[in-house]
Amino acid sequence: MKELSLHILDIVQNSLRAGASLVQIMVTIDTRQDFLRLKIEDNGCGMTEDFLQQVTDPFTTTRTTRKVGLGIPLLKEAAERTGGHFIIQSQVGVGTMVEANFVYRHIDCMPLGDMASTMMILIQGSPEVDFIYEYSFNERSFLLKTAELREILQHVPLDEPQVLKWIHDFVQENEGLVREGNVNENN
């Protein structure tokens, strides 16, 4: 993967396949403590303890089609390559939490990349799922909650193209504002 936002897109596909109705995505960048943290939490089916042990091993999958370079081992490796660390916790019937910590200024730390496109595509594919996306940069942050958008939109579905475009631009603009330390307090 070339961007962390692509890893996020991939990891969230696991949550969706696990039947999650709520997926929370958190990106936290702290330039002073020099870390970037991705955290993805879902309320999907979860995994047993035994299975969880194997999941960071690239030869584990419940899918029947085979391939190398599975999502979780790839993200773990990407984090560890920067001197960071990786945590996965899961409970059957409760959900799963994946956390990848990167050393932000390490040469191998990939750029976050296009989170606006990742969010837009997740919502396009699963408009019924509640997504929460939180982006923090030092002490500033912004939040996108699809449940709130759905309430505003009423009869208009979240996967309506004009709405998807709005979401894309909204995420892009707000990330920019948060990075510049200039949050739009009205949102």
Partner 1 sequence: MKTIEELKAIRENMSDTLAMRNNAEGSIRVVVGMATCGISAGARPVLQTLAQEINKRHLKNVKLVQTGCIGICRLEPIVEVYIGNEKTTYVKMTPEKALRVVNDHLVNRQVVTEFTIGAAE
Ligand X SMILES: Nc1ncnc2c1ncn2[C@@H]1O[C@H](COP(=O)(O)OP(=O)(O)O)[C@@H](O)[C@H]1O
Site string for Mg ion, 67-106 (x = CB under 5 A): ----x-----------------------------------
- Exactly one of 32, 50, 69, 139 binds partner 1 (CB under 8 A); that residue is 69
Which residue has tokens 């509640």? 130
Contact between 56 and partner 1 per CB under 8 A: no
Contact between 130 and partner 1 per CB under 8 A: no
CB 44 within 8 A of CB 15: yes
Subset of 8-27 contacting partner 1 (CB under 8 A): 9-10, 13, 17
Q: Which helix (H) or strand (E) holds 144?
A: strand 140-145
- Exactly one of 4, 8, 15, 116 binds ligand X (CB under 6 A); that residue is 15
**Cα–Cα distance, 32 to 136 (Å, whole number):** 13
Smallest CA-to-CA distance from 119 within 136, 102, 138, 132 is with: 132
**Cα–Cα distance, 73 to 178 (Å, whole number):** 31
Contact between 187 and partner 1 per CB under 8 A: yes
* Shortest separation between residue 22's beta carbon and partner 1, angstroms: 19
Q: How many residues does the chain have?
A: 187
Site string for partner 1, 77-116 (x = CB under 8 A): -------------------------------------x--
- Exactly one of 46, 71, 84, 95 binds partner 1 (CB under 8 A); that residue is 71
Total interface residues for partner 1 by CB under 8 A: 42
CA distance to 63, 104, 153, 156, per residue, from 30 (Å): 36, 8, 34, 37
